[in-house]
């Protein structure tokens, strides 16, 4: 692991033809958080023009160029094999920073915290996204109805910004590559907690999600999302986590 006072975080970013989005993200990481970023592992998942050629930052950018496209979990698991730091940050290409979020997030980390995140501000919103409850059919049907109560502590966090303790990520073998479209997010959060670690939110820290949505792909994405949820609900992890939740109440 890293010696004392060395940058503590390896960042994993995957490009699906998104280098134009990733360039300003790298600039912001260098501007605000270079003291804690050891390196960025940039995975090129599909061929694209190299608009980053000749660019350098305050940290090294280590590239992986996939011969064939891989899924979300597989790409980040592959990047984790290049991680030698105490912390491993999974970051979406369209996350944006207006200040240093990483340094105070690390400072807030409790010894039992295996996964950290700031609050996420979505486009057009004035307040960050609310915490997420366990995904169940009932939760999906009631989350937009009057009287729905959000949890004070999230059951899971989305894969936009996941700062893993490297020890915790390794202990659970990272993402389960069978899942996709948010299924992998819930699954890894559940397994982190089943392994005895906690999720921790930096309630006073905010990162922006500059969401890039392709409207023509909505039907396909909905299909992927639904089939992934069905896999989650059929998994042993889901039911073990529901039992854990029940034991807490």
Tell whether the torsion through CA atoms of 87, 174, 110 and 152 is positive or negative: positive
Dihedral (Cα; 19, 208, 200, 156), 10-degree rounding: -80
Mean pLDDT value of segment 126-145: 84
Alpha helices in 9-71, H assignment, sequence order: 19-33
Q: Which structure tokens are listed for 244?
A: 């854990």
CA separation, residue 97 to residues 2, 26, 29, 37, 164 (Å): 25, 10, 8, 14, 19
| Gap between the Cα atoms of 184 and 177, Å rounded | 7
Query: Mind listing the pLDDT tens digit for each residue in 197-235?
Result: 999 999 999 999 987 654 445 666 777 778 888 999 999
| Gap between the Cα atoms of 180 and 76, Å rounded | 13
> What's residue 138's pLDDT?
87
Percentage of the chain lying above the pLDDT 90 cut: 70
What's the whole-model pTM score? Answer: 0.91
Three-class DSSP category at 239: helix
> What's residue 247's pLDDT?
77
Q: Which structure tokens are listed for 79?
A: 């990047």
Query: Mind listing the pLDDT tens digit for each residue in 10-67?
Result: 999 999 999 999 999 999 999 999 999 999 999 999 999 999 999 999 999 999 999 9
Residue 178: how many CA atoms within 13 Å on its side-chain side? Answer: 9
Per the CB < 8 A criterion, the answer to whether 183 and 231 are in contact is yes
Residue 99: how many CA atoms within 13 Å on its side-chain side? Answer: 8
Return the number of other C-beta atoms located less than 10 Å from residue 137's C-beta: 9
Lowest mean pLDDT among 17-26, 132-141, 169-178: 132-141
């Amino acid at each position: 692991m890293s010696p004392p006072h060395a940058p503590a975080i390896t960042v994993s970013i995957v490009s699906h033809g998104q280098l134009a989005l990733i360039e300003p993200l790298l600039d912001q990481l260098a501007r605000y958080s270079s003291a804690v970023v050891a390196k960025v592992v940039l995975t090129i998942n599909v061929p694209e023009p190299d608009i980053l050629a000749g660019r350098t930052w305050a940290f090294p950018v280590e590239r992986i160029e996939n011969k064939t496209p891989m899924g979300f979990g597989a790409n980040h698991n592959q990047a984790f094999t290049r991680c030698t730091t105490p912390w491993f940050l999974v970051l979406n290409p369209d996350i944006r920073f207006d200040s240093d979020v990483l340094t105070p997030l690390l400072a807030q980390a409790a010894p039992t915290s295996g996964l950290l995140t700031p609050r996420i501000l979505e486009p057009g919103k004035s307040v960050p996204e609310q915490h997420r409850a366990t995904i169940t059919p009932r939760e999906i049907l009631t989350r937009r109805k009057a009287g729905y109560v959000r949890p004070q502590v999230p059951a899971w966090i989305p894969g936009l910004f996941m700062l893993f303790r490297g020890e915790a990520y390794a202990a659970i073998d990272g993402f389960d590559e069978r899942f996709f479209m948010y299924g992998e997010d819930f699954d890894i959060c559940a397994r982190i907690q089943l392994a005895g670690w906690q999720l921790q939110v930096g309630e006073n820290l905010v990162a922006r999600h500059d969401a890039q949505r392709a409207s023509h792909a909505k039907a396909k994405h909905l299909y992927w999302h639904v089939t992934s949820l069905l896999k989650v609900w059929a998994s042993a992890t889901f039911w073990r986590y529901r039992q854990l939740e029940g034991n807490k109440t």
